[in-house]
Amino acid sequence: MKFHADLDYFQNIRARRHFRHRHVEKKTAYEDLSPDERNWLMELNMRLKHLEEQYLPIMNAKGASLQARARDAADWMRCFNLELVLTYYLRDDDPEYEGFDDNVLMRVRESGFDYDDPDRDRGFGMTSVNHCHSKERFAGEHHCYLYHALSDHCDLDWRDLLRIGKIRVDVKTEEHSWFLPVNESFAGSAGAT
C-alpha cells in the first residue's frame, strides 16, 4: 500500500493498519526473510546511516543559525521549525508502481537535532548507538536511527522495505514572526501621524 499525499503521516499509518487488518495480512517475520533479503536490508541501513552522518552537521549548523536569528531583537524572525523529510519511493519494477504517480511508499519527518538538545544520547545522527529494539532477535546487527524509525515506527512490513527504490531528502525550514499590528502607523512612513 502506497503513501497517500492527501493524508498526513499518522493517517497514513492508520490507513496501512486498517488495510492490513481488512486483508488479513500478517507481517512477515524477520526470520522468514532470505539471507539475500536481510543483506539488502542491511545495505539500506548503511545508506540511512550515511545520510545521518552527512546531514546531522548540516541540520545542526542551520539550527544554530536560526536560533541566533530568533534571539536577535533586530531580526524579524522569532521562532522556526526545522525538519528533515525523507521520502521513500517504490522501485520501478514494483507491482504498485505507476508511471504517472509519485509512487511514494512512506514519508518520514525528523526534527530532533543536536543544536536543540546537545546532551542527547539517542536519535538522529547518533550512529554509534544501536537503535535495534531487540538485540537478541537481530543478533549481530547494528541499526541506525533512521532504519529503526522506518522499520519499527511506520507499520511497514519487512517486504515493504524491500520495495524501496529511491530516497529523497528535503531540508524544510519555516520561519515565523509574532503577529504584526495592521492598524498602527509605522514611524517614518509617509502620512504617519
Whether residue 150 contacts residue 139, with contact meaning beta carbons closer than 8 Å, is answered with: no
The predicted structure's pLDDT at residue 123 = 80
Q: Look at the block and give the residue holding cell 533512521.
A: 146
Q: What is the pLDDT of residue 190?
A: 55
CB proximity list for 29: less than 8 A, separation 6 or greater:
none
The amino acid at residue 136 is E
pLDDT tens, residue order, the chain (193 aa):
667 777 776 676 777 666 666 665 677 888 899 999 999 999 999 999 999 999 989 988 999 999 999 999 999 898 889 999 999 999 999 998 998 889 999 999 888 776 667 777 778 888 888 888 777 778 888 899 999 999 888 888 899 999 999 999 999 999 988 776 677 665 555 554 4
Q: Is the pTM of this model over 0.75?
A: yes
Report the alpha-carbon distance of residue 138 to residue 130 in Å, rounded.
11
Other C-beta atoms closer than 10 Å to the C-beta of 61 total 12
Work out whether the CA dihedral 74, 77, 79, 82 comes out positive or negative.
Answer: negative
The answer to whether the CB of 151 falls within 8 A of the CB of 161 is: yes
- The answer for residues whose C-beta is within 8 angstroms of residue 11's C-beta and 6 or more apart is 4
